[in-house]
Chain A
Amino acid sequence: MLSKRIIPCLDVRNGRLTKGVKFEGNVDIGDPVETARRYYEQGADEIVFYDITASHEDRGIFLDVVERVASEIFIPFSVGGGINTVEDMRAVLVAGAEKVSVNSGAVKNPDIISQGAAAFGSQAIVVGMDVKQVEKSATIPSGYEIVIHGGRKFMGMDAIEWAKTCEALGAGELCVNSIDADGTKDGYELTLTRLIADAVTIPVIASGGAGSPAHMYDAITRGGATAALIASIVHYGQYTIPDLKRQISDMGAKLRMVW
């Protein structure tokens, strides 16, 4: 049986690991390559790097990070942030990533999903979607709407419909991030995760809200996700990845326990 995956997410700015998009000031919290190697050695099943570099010039620094990661860790990793064209995708895949994650770039131009899948295969294309809960309406029948720009811009698209569209266009995987749950540490948005996991046949990664092993267990069982994305609960030493994996495995989930 396939193991559920535990995936740490690293936000990178100017070649350094930072606290992330939502935080003002972007505090430097370490070297992304060093941190990735530590998580790799501790049993992370995959790693996600997110480039939140502001300027185009700094893109080269980020690609250098991707290349260094590729020669030091031997598990799959994906790269997102600032992916708007097939050439952007090619650059990170050539640098050594297995998968590329496209988010607002796909919302603005859905064709990039099919173009990427045709060029690199569906297995290489992850669509990240940021979602906020809203009133149910004719446009948003599920009550979950697609947002971009960290949740500041509502796109008038139903998250469930968008998930199906992404699958039909050739996405190999979906990363579903609840903006409402993100940063709360109160647990993943399980209703949303489940709705999307049931609406598509491709793997779904739950993102946003992880605060404990129980939250992660819920996401990969009741939530129907095949993977759980985590960030701050491991970045600041609250848990180590082996702690998390042992506790989730003891709850009864199937995880990779030998690494």
Chain B
Amino acid sequence: MLAILDYKAGNQTSVRRALDHLGIPCVITADPAVIAGAHGVIFPGVGAAGQAMNELLTTGLDKVLKDQVQAGKPLLGICVGCQIMLDYSQENDTKALGIVPGECRLFNAAWTEEDGRPIRVPHMGWNRIVQKRPCELLKGIEPEAEFYFVHSYYPAPPESYVIATCTYGEEFCAIHGGPGLWAVQFHPEKSGRPGLALLRNFYAYCKEASRA
């Protein structure tokens, strides 16, 4: 069973619908005991980093998340969830969770696309990712697959944490983390078949990890 973290800045329902479609048992919850009993945790997020962090701090879920990571529970951050797993976000000048080192930065509107035109911010739509190191999440997914992004800020962890990058004006980190602790800037729950495959891979990893 996967726990989808329930807080006000999440797109929990979209994630739940995708998992339901895949037949993956899941629950939207803020209950620490339920989260502790899950095979893995999905940490979604939409909106602004500052508000998302406030929600986590007010509810104490920041500590719940950190404890679970400490205990080795697999975690998948999505979008704003991916961003606030880092130390800091430029959005609302936010001190974030610090589960992974690095900061989250605003796209530079002076960057240009391959056609020479300035990039439009937010980065909204489908884009390819380039895998930089092996990752169970991407197992079986074609390198040409694209994912759906909607964001104005991008994660910038140290290079050793970068699993895949995307290019929008310049190259930025699209997946960061390491085994069992992952974060994706795009929305797998809205990325069609490749996105669903990524979620299925995450669940398979979680089940495997809980057996080990």
Contact = CB atoms under 8 A, between A and B. Distances in A.
Interface of A: 1-3, 5, 40, 45, 70-72, 74-76, 96, 98, 121-123, 172-173, 201-203, 226-227, 254, 256-259
B42 to A, nearest CB: 15
A5 B120 contact: no
B120 A172 contact: no
B148 A76 contact: yes
B192 A259 contact: yes
B21 A74 contact: yes
B59 interface: no
25 contacts: A1-B113, A2-B123, A2-B125, A3-B127, A5-B125, A40-B192, A74-B17, A74-B190, A74-B192, A75-B190, A76-B148, A96-B13, A96-B17, A98-B190, A121-B46, A121-B48, A123-B122, A123-B124, A173-B124, A201-B118, A203-B124, A203-B125, A226-B120, A226-B125, A259-B192
A256 B126 contact: yes
B17 A71 contact: yes
Contacts of A201: 109, 118, 120-121
A257 B192 CA distance: 12
A1 B150 contact: no
B114 interface: yes
B195 interface: yes
A226 to B, nearest CB: 7
Interface in B143-198: 144-146, 148, 150, 167-168, 189-196
Contacts of B194: 258-259
Contacts of A5: 125-126
| Closest 3 A/B residue pairs (Cβ) | A3-B126, A256-B126, A258-B144
Given A74-B192, A258-B142, A2 B126 contact: yes
A226 B124 CA distance: 10
Nearest to A254: B114
A37 to B, nearest CB: 11
Given A71-B21, A74-B190, A45 B46 contact: no
B125 A70 contact: no
A181 B14 CA distance: 36
B25 interface: no
B125 to A, nearest CB: 5
A75 B123 contact: no
